[in-house]
């Protein structure tokens, strides 16, 4: 049994991670400020003697004795991370400093949830970890992209300077149950709009691409990375599903699977919206012997089922 701290533990990925870690027999401290996460996501764990829920903001120091830290605290949807962009930078940067300081003091291993956004609007396709990216430093997405890039820098420097045991994962677009109905990202938006019979909001011409990973595949990979005992393997490592779709194809699939009568309406493309995104997962295949198993349609069916129950 390990003692594990999950920051951002009440969010979409964090709450599912808490579930898995508890099922695997660990003690979990879930830390969250409930900005985009919700107590509802972990309410079934409250009362479990192996689970603690802490209201805390990672921009402030925190102390607990744990063996591992998963650092997930940060709004991830463009509408939420752009709502208070200064706070988003503080969360990524000061959150990383506070959690790395904690890991250093208590000698814990710490994993950073980085993102494919650090590649910006990529000029290399698909994106390997060796690609340095194409990021606007002063745009509306920069608070998230640059915050996450600086967090990676801090992780590497704490590792080189203080021997902190780190792992960095770069997560590509992940979806599934426990996404908030108002999360604002594309999969949940299209499903919720379809189930409610509302217009489906397609930004731009819908020819931009993303590669969608189902949550179960990500959880398996992130736990394998954390528990990888080769301390020379620290990442960054891409975790995503390499199957690439245009956003129009995604809309058509969701329309077909829900049987909705909703119509597609075209809206302006937000600034700096990446034109293409697809992970090169060779490194993850080689190091943790992993590749995603869940195909887009199967994952969408499960996610649609989840939202049908939530929206009742």
Q: List the catalytic residues.
A: 144
Q: Is 18:28 a contact under the CB 8 Å cutoff?
A: yes
Q: What does the binding site for ligand UDP look like in residue numbers (CB under 6 A)?
A: 77-78, 173, 185-186, 189, 201-203, 208, 210, 247, 269-270, 273
Q: Applying CB under 6 A, which part among 12-20, 129-137, 244-252, 256-264 lies near ligand NAD?
A: 12-20
C-alpha closest to that of 112 among 157, 78, 53: 157
The answer to whether residue 89 forms part of the interface with ligand NAD (CB under 6 A) is no
Distance CA 11, CA 75 (A): 9
Q: Is 296:180 a contact under the CB 8 Å cutoff?
A: no
3-class DSSP state for residue 265?
A: strand
The backbone torsions φ and ψ at residue 71, rounded to the nearest 5 degrees and listed phi first, read -95, 95
Question: For tokens 């959150």, what's the residue?
Answer: 95
Q: Which is nearer to ligand UDP, 100 or 118 (CB)?
A: 118
Packing angle between helix 296-310 and helix 247-258, nearest 10 degrees? 60
The least distance separating ligand NAD from the CB of residue 96, rounded to whole angstroms, comes to 10
The least distance separating ligand NAD from the CB of residue 261, rounded to whole angstroms, comes to 29
Q: Which is nearer to ligand UDP, 108 or 171 (CB)?
A: 171
The least distance separating ligand NAD from the CB of residue 311, rounded to whole angstroms, comes to 18
Q: What angle is formed at CA 1 by the lines to CA 62 and CA 227, rounded to 5 degrees?
A: 80
Binding partner at 75 among ligand UDP, ligand NAD, none, C-beta below 5 to 8 Å by kind? ligand NAD
The least distance separating ligand UDP from the CB of residue 187, rounded to whole angstroms, comes to 7
Q: Which is nearer to ligand UDP, 109 or 185 (CB)?
A: 185
The answer to whether residue 59 forms part of the interface with ligand NAD (CB under 6 A) is yes
The answer to whether residue 113 forms part of the interface with ligand NAD (CB under 6 A) is yes
Q: Cα 39 to the chain's mean position, in Å?
A: 18
């Amino acid at each position: 049994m390990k003692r594990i701290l999950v920051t951002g533990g009440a969010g979409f990925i964090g709450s599912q991670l808490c579930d898995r870690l508890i099922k695997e027999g660990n003690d979990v401290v879930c830390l969250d400020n409930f900005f985009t996460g919700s107590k509802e996501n972990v309410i079934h764990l409250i009362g479990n003697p192996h689970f603690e829920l802490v209201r805390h903001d990672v921009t402030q120091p925190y102390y607990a004795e744990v063996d591992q830290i998963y650092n997930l605290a940060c709004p991830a949807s463009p509408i939420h991370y752009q709502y208070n962009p200064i706070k988003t930078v503080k969360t990524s940067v000061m959150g990383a400093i506070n959690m790395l300081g904690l890991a250093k003091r208590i000698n814990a291993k710490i994993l950073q949830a980085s993102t494919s956004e650090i590649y910006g609007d990529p000029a290399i396709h698909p994106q390997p970890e060796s690609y340095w990216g194409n990021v606007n430093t002063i745009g509306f997405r920069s608070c998230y992209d640059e915050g996450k890039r600086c967090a990676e820098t801090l992780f590497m420097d704490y590792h080189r300077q203080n021997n902190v045991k780190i792992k960095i994962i770069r997560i590509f677009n992940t979806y599934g149950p426990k996404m908030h109905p108002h999360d604002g990202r594309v999969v949940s938006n299209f499903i919720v709009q379809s189930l409610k019979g509302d217009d489906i909001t397609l930004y731009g011409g819908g020819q931009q691409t993303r590669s969608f990973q189902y949550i179960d595949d990500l959880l398996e990979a992130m736990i394998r990375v954390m528990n990888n005992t080769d301390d020379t393997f620290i990442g960054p490592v891409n975790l995503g599903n390499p199957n690439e779709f245009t956003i129009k194809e995604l809309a058509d699939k969701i329309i077909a699977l829900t049987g909705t009568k909703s119509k597609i309406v075209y809206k302006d493309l937000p600034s700096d919206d990446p034109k293409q995104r697809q992970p090169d997962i060779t490194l993850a295949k080689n190091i943790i012997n992993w590749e995603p198993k869940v195909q887009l349609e199967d994952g969408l069916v499960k996610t649609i089922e989840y939202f049908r129950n939530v929206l009742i």
